Structure 1
Amino acid sequence: MKKDRAVSGRTERPLTEHHGIDWVDDSRRHGRERDQFSMRFAPVVYLAPVVLGGAGVPLGLGLVGSVTAIAAGNLLGSLATAACAVMGPRLGIPQVTMTRSAFGYRGNYVPAFLGILLFIGYFSLGTVLGARSLTNLTGLPYTPMIVVVAGLSVLIAVFGYDTLQAMGRWLTRASLVVFGIVSIAVVVHGTGPAATTNASSGHSVTTWLLVCSVVFSYTVSWTIYASDYSRYLPANGRARSMFLWAFGGLFSSATWMMVLGAALTTLAGGDPLAGLGVVLPAPLLKLVLAVFVAGALSHNAVNLYSGAMAGLTCDLPLRRTTVVVAGGAVGCVLSLLLGGGNFQSHFNTFLLMVSYFVMPWLAILLIDFYRTHQGGRGYPQPTAFQDRTGPYRGTRPRALLAFFLGIGASVPFMATDVYTGPIGHLLGGVDVSYAASFMVAALAHELLRAPHTDRETAAVDSALTTL
């Protein structure tokens, strides 16, 4: 591993990151807490949240109902993500690697593998929407643009952490200007007739819950990335400050893009891109599309980078850069398969399915970090997370049982195109499985982690391993 070199009183870091999932020691720490704002803001500035924000308008929810559902979902998801981002400086390791403490070194392969699927899925979705933006910008065929967007995303992710941080800062600045102009144009033009709620009161509540749950599923999925982009910050930083910057970046970006999407969708029969064409002159529309392409690249690179962290947590015998390239290739193929006429349905189903494992994993992580280990102060040396024969060796069956109980509890509440459970039917297709899975996993983990004598602990673990 290459070491940073001191040059003229500054730290010179290699252009390409050579760090994997091992602990970032104090000599390699750098950055500022306020950088968390742009790191959370930039990857959300692409077409997906804009499309998602308009989902309630064709269902009759209207603009006010959409905005309140968007704000509520993003508030909860951003709070959870910020709580996870705080863990990065404390432990100096990626997010999914942290749950080796709860699940055990080998037991953590389960959520890490599911994380890989999440990251590749989001990369594929980002590639589809980035290619659509690039096609609208250039007029070039869609399929080759898939390859262009995927290839550029891989290149950025290969360079790693500092490149992602730098891109986030510049993209955030550009987005604030460009989308500030777009927002003014929308206000001046006004919304369309679909801005008025036209659903019955009962159906309106159901639609509101549906939009809120899908929005929350999108935002809370960033929890599994959170510490990947804060672990290089100095360990003695202010946790409160970092929490607020991380929360502010994600909440403001996601809410702004989604509210714009809802407003634009009222203008053009369910197509926010067509809505942009209504309120903007052609040159400014091309500038917005260029920012969408850059945002898709940032989003995709973040997913490939974190996918590599999850792959290394599964002990793949590969370098970080190799995992990035392999993930990009798989995601590119999936993009070609997902980008058809049923994209919106695939997108919503994917977001909801993500929550089926993210929420029980999150419940266990939060209890392990904030309760079991007193906000990160009760862990052994951070190098213990990399020691397969150390204190986290093997598998922690009780945590895995709580995890699977959480996932199982979500089944009756599911409401997707693939499967709808009995409670999902009763709720009119609203999927609130994330709440059930989080609460059940948290309760089960809390009960199963209760203090035992050494003999009782050995007996419990032996029984669960047999199961």
Structure 2
Amino acid sequence: MRTCMKDSDAQAVPPVGQPPRTETSDSALTLERRGIAHIPTSQRYGHPRNQFTVRFAPVIYLAGIYLGASGGPLGLGLTGSISAIVLANILGSIVTGLCAVMGPRLGMPQLPMGRAPFGYFGNFLPAFLTLLMCIGYYSVGTVLGAKSLASLLNAPYAPTVVVVAAVSILIGIFGYKILHALGKIITNVSIVVLTVVSIVLIVHGGGPGTTATVTGVDYWLAWSVLFTAVFGYTASWAPYASDYSRYLPENSKPSSIFAAASTGLFASTTWMMCLGAGLITLMPGGDVIDAFGVALPGWLRYVVLLTLGLSAIPHNSVNLYSGAMNTLTCDVKLPQWVTVTIAGLVGLVIALVFGGDQFQANFLLFLHVLSYYITPWVAILLVDYYVVQRGGRNVLPFANFYTPAGAFGRFNVAGLAALVIGVVVSVPFMANEFYTGPIGVSLGGADLSYFVSAIVAAVVYLVARRWFAPHAGATQLPGHAEASRLEKTN
């Protein structure tokens, strides 16, 4: 009987009697063909400290600056914006760091891990939603990178978008190694550039928007709006986390992985957003990019915008690469490089059509809507791994993740119900341009639905899994031997 396994899912376990396959090259230009397959012990490499650069680098583009600057029009002033940014990024970075820890233990990308709480086919829902998120953020990066480069080089926008997209797709096709290599380069260069910019801005001082223009209840409501938007942005990196830690040795220290991943993400998001919050004080109600010209000498403005424009390309590639992992998780029977290319072309069309003057407002709305699914999904995944599987100590043999005949079953009603219930219960707390629930209205537009959905989903899953989760003991596969059998039947 033919299994549901395919080439992109095939386990990296050799048939009995054959030596394990090893990496043929340490070059970053080695084309990765593994897809979402489990990474065997013989092919693990790297050090937890590399998680800092691979989390830091993808954030170094204009989106963080735009988001940080959004506190200005809300009337928060510099102090209010920075406090909301810092606290939200602490929470979002912790969530992503906890997910990154899962990679070395399970040896697979983040989304296939969802087959444990959602079932093999039930996991298609979060995988598809995450694919949409990846394409969306790739489109955002393409728009911002192309706008920055086109402005600096006096080039037309449309051809610049095409070039940015093409290079992003090429890097995404090569995958894991080149993304880690570029992460180190971008981190080193951007730290130098951002340090110089920060010093110049501090010496220059704030502008007329430094002081808050709202007080009392209005102030805290505006603070909550920025806080939830920032949290949604930073926490949205969680579905990518294990994609870039799964090759680490299985015995890598979890605390080291968590510290490096969460610190890298917190440092980059906070730095970029605080720059945006500071710049917008110079031109309240204006465009934050124009504010660069107010505070910085011409040569430094050119260097900064060039750095941020070029850095958007690896950011795009990260999203395309993780998008490919999500596509393969949905059992799409295409090679990894094809899924990267298709996602890149779809995002290119979006960037050409929707990259107009209202982009910043559309971007903030995108962040709000996106977070409605992410936080309950992350809550369920973390509860399953850290509570049910006891931090990976009770994880079943990895072959169970790669077939609907495994212990997790085709559909896990407990996980799916918890996800849906978490979102539904949070609807009255939502607040965005499309819909604002009654509680969101009473809070003046502050959106607390993200936290409500996460708490509800976690509790529902813990309770429901006792009755509705598949019974693992009767169906679990024996591990490497079964994975080898599945590989040979493809």
Question: Which bracket does the TM-score occupy, shorter chain normalised?
Answer: over 0.9
- C-alpha distance in structure 1 between counterparts of 2:377 and 2:144, whole Å: 28
- C-alpha distance in structure 1 between counterparts of 2:137 and 2:24, whole Å: 38
CA contact (8 A) 2:408 2:470 kept: no
2:16 — aligned with what? Answer: none
Deviations 1:40-85 (A, max 9, x none): 0000000000000010112210000000000011010000000000
2:161 — aligned with what? Answer: 146
Gaps of 5+ in 2: 1-6, 13-20, 475-490
CA contact (8 A) 2:100 2:241 kept: yes
Amino acid at match of 2:444: G
Shift of 1:386: 1.3
Deviations 1:285-324 (A, max 9, x none): 1211121122211211111000000000000010111000
Amino acid at match of 2:423: I
Distance 1:78 1:5, change over 3 A: closer
1:431 — aligned with what? Answer: 447
Picking from 214, 221, 233, the partner of 1:199 is 214
Picking from 89, 93, 96, the partner of 1:78 is 93
CA contact (8 A) 2:111 2:239 kept: yes
- C-alpha distance in structure 2 between counterparts of 1:174 and 1:428, whole Å: 42
CA contact (8 A) 1:95 1:224 kept: yes
Distance 1:393 1:171, change over 3 A: same
Shift of 1:30: 1.0
1:52 — aligned with what? Answer: 67
Amino acid at match of 2:346: V
Residue 22, structure 1, aligned to residue 37, structure 2 = yes
- C-alpha distance in structure 2 between counterparts of 1:382 and 1:51, whole Å: 41
Deviations 1:251-286 (A, max 9, x none): 010000000001011112332211111122222212
1:293 — aligned with what? Answer: 309
Shift of 1:142: 1.3
Q: Which moved more, 1:236-245 or 1:194-203?
A: 194-203
Picking from 230, 243, 250, the partner of 1:215 is 230
Deviations 1:339-385 (A, max 9, x none): 11221221111111111111111111011100000101111222321
Q: Which moved more, 1:305-314 or 1:381-390?
A: 381-390
CA contact (8 A) 1:56 1:211 kept: yes
CA RMSD of aligned residues (A): 1.9
Aligned counterparts, 1:328-343, within 5 A: 328-343=344-359
- C-alpha distance in structure 2 between counterparts of 1:427 and 1:20, whole Å: 45
Shift of 1:6: 6.4
Gaps of 5+ in 1: 459-467
What secondary structure does 1:450 align onto? helix
Residue 353, structure 1, aligned to residue 369, structure 2 = yes
What secondary structure does 2:333 align onto? coil
Amino acid at match of 1:95: Q
Residue 233, structure 1, aligned to residue 245, structure 2 = no
2:46 — aligned with what? Answer: 31
CA contact (8 A) 1:104 1:396 kept: yes
Q: Which moved more, 1:23-32 or 1:332-341?
A: 332-341
What secondary structure does 1:449 align onto? helix
Shift of 1:14: 6.5
Shift of 1:194: 0.4
Shift of 1:137: 1.8
CA contact (8 A) 1:22 1:383 kept: no
Shift of 1:336: 1.7
Give the TM-score normalised by structure 1.
0.94
- C-alpha distance in structure 1 between counterparts of 2:466 and 2:401, whole Å: 22
Q: Which moved more, 1:170-179 or 1:136-145?
A: 136-145
What secondary structure does 1:429 align onto? coil
2:481 — aligned with what? Answer: none
Shift of 1:4: 3.6
Aligned counterparts, 1:248-397, within 5 A: 248-269=263-284, 270-397=286-413
Amino acid at match of 2:163: V
- C-alpha distance in structure 1 between counterparts of 2:450 and 2:157, whole Å: 35
Shift of 1:410: 2.0
- C-alpha distance in structure 2 between counterparts of 1:186 and 1:90, whole Å: 43
Residue 115, structure 1, aligned to residue 130, structure 2 = yes
Amino acid at match of 2:122: G
What secondary structure does 2:237 align onto? helix
CA contact (8 A) 2:414 2:468 kept: no
Give the TM-score normalised by structure 2.
0.90
What secondary structure does 1:15 align onto? coil
- C-alpha distance in structure 1 between counterparts of 2:468 and 2:177, whole Å: 44
- C-alpha distance in structure 2 between counterparts of 1:56 and 1:453, whole Å: 43
Distance 1:196 1:12, change over 3 A: closer
- C-alpha distance in structure 2 between counterparts of 1:364 and 1:453, whole Å: 13
Residue 65, structure 1, aligned to residue 58, structure 2 = no
Amino acid at match of 2:353: L
CA contact (8 A) 2:117 2:380 kept: yes
What secondary structure does 2:307 align onto? helix
Residue 184, structure 1, aligned to residue 199, structure 2 = yes
- C-alpha distance in structure 1 between counterparts of 2:163 and 2:414, whole Å: 45
- C-alpha distance in structure 1 between counterparts of 2:49 and 2:23, whole Å: 25
What secondary structure does 2:108 align onto? coil
Shift of 1:13: 7.6
CA contact (8 A) 1:125 1:347 kept: yes
Distance 1:443 1:271, change over 3 A: same
Distance 1:204 1:12, change over 3 A: closer
What secondary structure does 1:374 align onto? coil
Picking from 398, 410, 433, the partner of 1:417 is 433
Q: What is the number of residues matched between the two proteins?
A: 454
